[in-house]
Amino acid sequence: MGISDVIPVPVAIDEEIEKWTIWGRPVMDVWFTTTEKIHQIIQMGPIKNVLNWGRKNSLWFLMQPMGCCGVEMLVFGCPHYDCDRFGIIPRATPRQADVMIISGYITRKYLPAIKNLWEQMLEPKWCIAVGECAISGGPFYDSYNIIQNTSDFFPIDVYVPGCPPRPEQFIKGFVELQEKIKQRKDKRGY
């Protein structure tokens, strides 16, 4: 495709622009592009780094407190711990959230609901498992009604141990997630 296929220009200009390159690629590929080409450009590196820099500094988490760890999550989102300074902001709707915090135990009855919330979150999205219950069942180990291994149902990027972990550990978990996003070592490799 030449530029004259997009806008009316003299053929000479069209042929000249065909020779231009940007980042080693024909400029026509970059300027007049398709979704596929945008993806190719993002995969080239620097732009993806910029995107991930923005993503890691705006991790909005979904407020869905579950077990007793959920209370710590609420405290973590309050002004005393000032998680906003990391770009970590609580959201009340999955449509605006980037991070799902599994804050404690998941009962078998609740599993479909929380999976539904996860599905409603837009990409890119990440998941943090907080508390022994979310990691391995905790005090409810081998219980008939508690999910024992959340990683079977959600792509967990970071585990925050404790029963319950303190809000400072939530911050540490998020900082770890930020580092993983920066290095592209998060579970889904954004």
- For ligand SF4, which is the closer residue by CB, 40 or 169? 169
Q: How far is the CB of 88 from ligand SF4 (least distance, A)?
A: 20
Two structure tokens written together for 51: 């995107």
Residue at token pair 């579950």: 66
Residue 84 phi/psi, 5-degree rounding, is -60, -25
Two structure tokens written together for 70: 């959920």
- For ligand SF4, which is the closer residue by CB, 108 or 188? 108
* Paired residues of 61 in beta bridges: 90, 99
Positions in the binding site for ligand SF4 (CB under 6 A): 67-69, 104-105, 131-133, 138-139, 163-164
Q: How far is the CB of 74 from ligand SF4 (least distance, A)?
A: 13
- For ligand SF4, which is the closer residue by CB, 81 or 190? 81
Q: Omega of the bond prior to 124 within 30 degrees of 0, cis?
A: yes
Of 114, 138, 109, which is closest to residue 62 (Cα–Cα)? 114
- For ligand SF4, which is the closer residue by CB, 83 or 147? 147
Q: How far is the CB of 138 from ligand SF4 (least distance, A)?
A: 4
**What are the residues whose beta carbons fall under 8 Å from the beta carbon of 144, sequence distance 6 or more?**
none
Q: How far is the CB of 170 from ligand SF4 (least distance, A)?
A: 12
